[in-house]
Homo-oligomer: A and B are copies of this chain.
Amino acid sequence: MNLQDSNPDLLKMPDVQSSEDTRHIAIELVGIRSVRYPVMWHEQGQTPQGSVAEFSMMVSLPAEQKGTHMSRFIAWLEDHSQDLGAHNMVALYQDMLTRLHAPQGELSFVMPWFVHKTAPVSGLKSMMDYQMGWTISGPADLVATELEMLVPVTSLCPCSKAISDYGAHNQRSHVTLRVKTLAAHNPIGAQALIDIAEKQASSELYGMLKRVDEKQVTERAYDNPKFVEDLARDVAAGLIALKQQDRIAGFCVKVENFESIHNHSAFAQISG
C-alpha cells in the first residue's frame, strides 16, 4: 500500500492511487487499522501519562478517486502521538482530514489507562488498569467526539443473596461507558466516568488489598447486590444527570458480568 508524492525522484513512477476510478462507487471509510504507537496523553489537571495506543485512521474517498495515501496517516502519528489530549483532539482530527484532502473520516484509538488507587482501609497505593478509547468522526466543521471507558468492577447477585441461607455469587464485571463529549466549559474526562461506574458497582477493584481491605470490599459487595440490569440502570442514571447538566450529549452503557455460576456472561445495555 502506498502513495502519491511530490518528491521529484518519484515523477517517473506510476501513481496508481491518484488515477481516476470509473466504477462510480464512493468509499465511506478507507485507511489503516491495528497500528500500535507509543503515546503521551494529556488529561486535564494531571501529569501527562505515557501509554501504548492502537489506532484506526480512516477517511472517506470520492467515487472518482482510485486510492487514498496511506503513509500520511503514519506521518500524522509521527507528528502528534506525543501530544494527545481531549483539548486538541478536534484540531488533530481536522489536521488528519487536511493531510488526506478528505471532507470527513474517523479517527479512533484505545489504550490502557492507569490510576494510582488507594486501598480503602490500609491506604496502600497500587495501579489499577482501565481502558480508554476515543472516536473522532464526521465532517471537518461538525466533528463528533466520543469517549469510552471500560471499568472492571465486582457485581454480586441479589437473587443469589435473597434465596441463599448464606453467601451470594459474585464476579468480575466490565462496565463500558461511552459518551458523546461536548466542548464544554467543564468537559467530561476519564476519571468522572470511572467514578460513576465504581460508585454504582457492588464493589470496585484494586491492584493491591491487605486483609483489612479485603474484609471491607467483601462486605461492601454483600451489602450492595446488583443485577446486571441494576448496574446498567444505576450507571445510566449517573449519565442522564451528566446529560441534563449539558456535560455530555448522549451515552451508551454496557455491563457484562462474567458469571461465576455459568460459563457465559450476563449483559445489559442502555442508551440515552
Q: Which residues of A contact B (CB under 8 A)?
A: 1-3, 5, 7, 9-10, 13-17, 21, 23, 25-38, 49-52, 56, 58, 61, 66-68, 70-71, 74-75, 77-78, 81, 112, 114, 122, 124-129, 152, 154, 156-160, 162-172, 203, 205-212, 214-215, 217-219, 221-222, 227-230, 232-234, 236-237, 240, 256-271
Contact = CB atoms under 8 A, between A and B. Distances in A.
A170 B172 contact: no
Q: Which of A33, A209, A221: most chain B CB closer than 10 A? A: A209
Nearest to A172: B260
A261 to B, nearest CB: 5
Nearest to A49: B38
Contacts of A30: 228-229, 232, 266-269
Nearest to A23: B233
Contact of A169 (B127, B154, B233): B154
B170 A260 contact: yes
Contacts of A77: 126-127, 207
Nearest to A1: B266
Contact of A263 (B68, B128, B261): B128
Contact of A267 (B31, B78, B268): B31
Contact of A74 (B126, B227, B265): B126
A211 B25 CA distance: 26
Contacts of A158: 16
Nearest to A157: B1
A124 B75 CA distance: 9
21 contacts: A1-B227, A1-B228, A2-B159, A3-B211, A21-B229, A23-B233, A31-B267, A33-B256, A52-B52, A58-B267, A66-B230, A71-B209, A74-B126, A154-B261, A159-B214, A164-B214, A166-B166, A166-B222, A172-B259, A209-B262, A260-B260
